[in-house]
Amino acid sequence: MKYRILGNTGVQLSAIGLGCMTMSHAYGTPDDTESIATLHKSLDLGINFWDTANVYGGGKNEELISKVLTENRDKIFIATKFGFTSDGNRAVNGSPAYIKKTVEASLKRLRVDVIDLYYAHRIDPLVPVEEMVGGMAELVREGKVRFLGLSEASVNSVRKAHAIHPISALQSEYSILTREPEANVLPLCKDLGISFIPFSPLARGLITNTLDVEKLADGDLRKRFPRYQREYEDNNRKLTAGFAELAQQKGCTPARLALAWVLSQDEHIIPIPGTKKRRYLEENVGAVDIDLVAADFSNIEELLAKYPDTGARYNESNAIHVDKS
């Protein structure tokens, strides 16, 4: 494994982290036995950066992770998030009072004394960013949280937050098929010394050329999103088949090529591909040893230009929670 530094903290994190959401939430049926084995395998492979959230499985993901985390606490940098609520009147809550409540619940489920990285899962439009981050900073002073992060936050919100307390990480979707952060967010993170943490760096499995959208289970989160609908199936099938050919020419799998591309964008980027299976984890980790050359980038861009109609990453009900302020 290779390692990268988290923001300005000096903390070394594995260049590829582990997104734990799918072990308990969103895709397919949970398999706790395989998930636990995957968590142990990640440590064997040198992965020390795990990512979860209080909303994943209604807290079950944090509880699952705790079964391996507590006995390996010194080996794991644990990140979790707060913000989404089950309140029908308020989808996101970033108030300091709510933060105090949710951090205690996450600490209890994770069975730890301190959370290494605590993210605001989304920006609450009803709470000033400065007020929210002030509440998060209080957790740092109390020793319950080490570092702070934001997720799906705009450049303006990141600047406001960073002025109140150092933001160490910004998490947003980023992959070969989701490039929006390149315009402003990635440069800002580099300028401020903030690590950028891409989630879904494999486009929720699409770029691997193994995803059959027709076979997604009814409860699969991807069934809600435009990119995985029949309307875009022909374009995306041709694109991913072409990408698989590029990977074959490179002597690797599409997943490894896609992750190598993300890693190559800059040293302050630490992707967290999600999986609940050991075989995919081992495949993902192999990306750190793949070096891309100019021709690789050119070939990928030419392929994307040939098949541009990939579909939006979110539907309207999900996109509304992405901060654009």
Residues identified as active-site: 56
Residue type, 221: L
Vertex 225, ends 223 and 227: CA angle to 5°?
A: 105
Residue 232 exposed, middle or buried by CB count within 10 Å (0-12, 13-18, 19+): buried
Three-state DSSP class for residue 251:
coil
Q: Could you give phi then psi for residue 285, rounded to 5 degrees? A: -60, -30
Measure the CA–CA gap between 106 and 81, rounded to whole angstroms. Answer: 9
Measure the CA–CA gap between 75 and 87, rounded to whole angstroms. Answer: 36
Q: Which residues pair with 196 in a beta bridge?
A: 170, 269
**19: closest CA among 275, 292, 299, 294?**
275
Q: Which residues pair with 148 in a beta bridge?
A: 118, 167
Nearest 10 degrees: CA dihedral of 280, 281, 282, 285?
A: 120
- Residue pair 322/314 in contact by the 8 Å Cβ criterion: yes
- Residue pair 299/246 in contact by the 8 Å Cβ criterion: yes
Going by their DSSP bridges, the two strands 115-120 and 3-5 should be labelled as: unpaired
Measure the CA–CA gap between 78 and 73, rounded to whole angstroms. Answer: 9
Spatial CB neighbours of 246, under 8 Å, sequence gap ≥ 6: 257, 296, 299, 300, 303
- Residue pair 91/291 in contact by the 8 Å Cβ criterion: no
